[in-house]
Amino acid sequence: MTLTIRDIAPADRAGWEALWSAYLAFYKVDLSPDITAHTWTRMMDPASPLKGRLAVEGDQPLGFALHHHHCSTWVMGEDCYLEDLFVAPEARGKGVGRALIDDLRDLAKARGWHRLYWHTDEGNARARALYDSYAPYDGHVRYRLKL
């Protein structure tokens, strides 16, 4: 497999939306099309901190990593939050997820960000096996208050 990882570009919209739909289906989430459109618009806005990386083989998108950076109270600098990581089912087990995380880690280092972090569903054993190869589970529990 010849894998390329690059910034998501305007021409990638249809491929990203197909992956995004599969991602939402995996998590059994039904979002309004307006939210998907807004997410895309933010990723394409140079002033927005939300960015995306796309893993492609030839012209076939295989996965994405959506991320943003932010200031931190725990370091004298910024952190990078990997908000969404997804690999198409047919590409799983081929190193695409690892390549996306490695790429984002390298990008974060190059930009001087201090930490890269993410969350996942506790029952997502396949993803957790990959994530555990980077860092041990740190015991944190997430709480989400809808406003």
The secondary structure of 84-121 as a DSSP string is EEEE-GGGTTTTHHHHHHHHHHHHHHHTT--EEEE---
Give the global pTM: 0.93
The domain in which residue 88 lies consists of: 4-132
Judge whether 145 lies within some domain.
no
Domain tally, the chain: 1
Which segments of 13-59 are extended strands (E)? 51-57
Closest Cα partner for 86 from 31, 13, 10, 17?
17
Domain contains 110: yes
Does residue 35 lie within any of the structural domains? yes
Residue 137: inside a domain: no
In the block, tokens 């931190």 appear at 72
Q: Residue 107 belongs to a domain with what CATH number?
A: 3.40.630.30
Give per-residue pLDDT as tens, 91-136: 999 999 999 999 999 999 999 999 999 998 888 888 999 998 999 8
Q: Can you tell me the distance from the alpha carbon of 96 to that of 86, in angstroms, rounded to the nearest whole number?
A: 9
CA 26 to chain centre: 14
Q: Is residue 142 part of a domain?
A: no
Q: Is residue 121 in a domain? A: yes
Tokens of 57: 């083989």
What average pLDDT does the chain have?
Answer: 94
Token pair listed for 104: 């984002």
pLDDT grade for 1, boundaries at 50, 70 and 90: low
Distance CA 142, CA 61 (A): 30
Residue 101 lies in a domain: yes
106: in domain: yes
- pLDDT of 43 reads 97
- pLDDT tens figures, 39-59: 999 999 999 999 999 999 999
